[in-house]
Chain A
């Protein structure tokens, strides 16, 4: 995998929104990795391609109306977003998984827009 030049703003601790969820909860992530900020670029370099891949595959399953695969992918995204501290992305993934579980793929497709938006926000916050 090609390494990407990633960095996290020095002063950034959290990017809370009105609902209390962070676009990127950096402090929580640091807690999980023993406070080692030097590892964040490596973690992000793993996270971003994973999300990119999931998004491409999600487009495919929505087009193919494959709710089972849609649920699995949104489940995976939920976990990986939670681990990196992308709380808002995680929250959208929870909704996506629920829609997929109920086979509501139209709502699922609509929610995908929010996911992409949140992803863009996340990337902007971590300063790609």
Chain B
């Protein structure tokens, strides 16, 4: 206990009165400033007995400073006064109790013990709260880690499922990665919330997972597909959707189903499998459509070379409002640099790029962005006719 009084005899009497309390050691201070210095030095003061009229720093100022300091605020202060106005004033300042001189030894002991006990109980509660808080933080962190791991596992599964489909195709693992990054970036630009962007990033690799169910004779057929084969090829959207159906509480798989089913739907309703149009097509499907076509146009395949960027942009622009959601296409082209950077970061190996002279051996199952006079090839994603006049375009966009 810290006894603050400028009169030595008063401090001495407090010491005598608490002599029998073995748990209480009395520290003395002659004024408020000395009391604060002691509080600064000692962490173990459990109660302050504070006189009001003192030189150097009076009890009012000392009380104000004690109660205004986070470190000392919880230390109970008993003010030594019997004056009603002083009692009211000091209680308002945060004093915990008051006593008058002459001290009654029993009263002093009881009041001191009560306040010290309350303080100790408070400290115990605070300690327990701190321990509980730490435990909650630890458990929450563990749960977060488990959740993160679960999300990673879900993403890994989607990527590997996507790869499984691409393994049967000429596409590379980097195509999957590019679609993932391009789609996410476009989703951000389109104003989707962060969680949706993240889900699409992880779901877009599943867009062609349905190719697993397409027979090799169609998927790997060199050259054009006949109308029957083309109808079969179109089924990769429905098959993908079936594979990913009943996703329950797995948001990425659920989004993957949408992407797989709708990434060949066109803005004007001429796409497949359901001929959806406009905003009837889920925004995930519309975004992946843009990302997928851009990647197809600007990538080399064993049977074709990559288009120069300017040409790819020209082709895409011609599909504005028919092929692509015009707003998404504008966002894409207005921020083309961002997408070109992604393309560069995850570009295919030189080997793939330099095999473009095998155009005659278009052997893959890629979705084709094709010349108007060359319909029905591959997945039949057909851009307007002017784009490819004389270009010999047979563009894969899987």
Interface residues of A (CB under 8 A from B): 28, 31-34, 36, 39, 42-43, 46-47, 50, 72, 75-76, 78-80, 82-85
Asked, given contacts A39-B16, A75-B53, whether A32 binds B9 with beta carbons under 8 Å apart, the answer is: no
Query: Do A33 and B80 touch (CB < 8 A)?
Result: no
Nearest B-chain residue to A76, judged by Cβ: B53
- Contacting A32 at CB < 8 Å: which of B6, B7, B102? B102
Nearest B-chain residue to A86, judged by Cβ: B102
Query: Do A33 and B16 touch (CB < 8 A)?
Result: yes
- Contacting B13 at CB < 8 Å: which of A50, A76, A83? A83
Query: Do A34 and B9 touch (CB < 8 A)?
Result: no
Of B13, B100, B102, most buried by chain A (CB within 10 Å of CB) is B102
Nearest B-chain residue to A43, judged by Cβ: B9
Neighbouring A residues of B51 by C-beta, 8 Å: 79
Query: Do B12 and A28 touch (CB < 8 A)?
Result: no
Asked, given contacts A28-B102, A76-B53, A85-B102, whether A33 binds B6 with beta carbons under 8 Å apart, the answer is: no
Query: Do B16 and A80 touch (CB < 8 A)?
Result: no
* B28: min CB distance to chain A, Å: 13
B10 contacts chain A at the CB level, 8 A cutoff: yes
Give Cα A34 to B6, complex, Å: 23
Query: Do B101 and A50 touch (CB < 8 A)?
Result: no
- Contacting B10 at CB < 8 Å: which of A33, A75, A80? A80
Nearest A-chain residue to B106, judged by Cβ: A31
Neighbouring B residues of A79 by C-beta, 8 Å: 7, 10, 51, 80, 101
Of A28, A33, A79, most buried by chain B (CB within 10 Å of CB) is A79
Asked, given contacts A50-B9, A83-B10, whether A34 binds B101 with beta carbons under 8 Å apart, the answer is: no
Asked, given contacts A28-B102, A34-B105, whether A43 binds B6 with beta carbons under 8 Å apart, the answer is: no
Asked, given contacts A43-B9, A46-B8, A83-B13, whether A72 binds B53 with beta carbons under 8 Å apart, the answer is: yes
Neighbouring A residues of B103 by C-beta, 8 Å: 32, 83
1/0 contact trace for B14-46 toward A, CB 8 Å?
A: 001101100000000000000000000000000
* A67: min CB distance to chain B, Å: 14
Query: Do A76 and B12 touch (CB < 8 A)?
Result: no
> Lowest 3 A-B CB distances belong to which pairs?
A46-B9, A79-B101, A82-B102
Query: Do B105 and A43 touch (CB < 8 A)?
Result: no
* B124: min CB distance to chain A, Å: 32
* A22: min CB distance to chain B, Å: 12
Query: Do A82 and B101 touch (CB < 8 A)?
Result: yes
Instruction: List residues of B (197-235) whose CB comes within 8 Å of A's CBs.
Output: none
Neighbouring A residues of B7 by C-beta, 8 Å: 50, 76, 79-80
Asked, given contacts A46-B12, A79-B80, A80-B7, whether A32 binds B105 with beta carbons under 8 Å apart, the answer is: yes
* B198: min CB distance to chain A, Å: 70
* A24: min CB distance to chain B, Å: 13
Give Cα A32 to B19, complex, Å: 11
10 A-B contact pairs sorted by A residue (CB < 8 Å): A32-B16, A32-B105, A33-B13, A33-B105, A34-B17, A46-B12, A47-B9, A80-B101, A82-B100, A82-B101
* B137: min CB distance to chain A, Å: 51
Give 5 A-B pairs besides A34-B16, A85-B102 with Cβ atoms closer than 8 angstroms. Answer: A33-B17, A34-B17, A75-B53, A80-B10, A82-B100
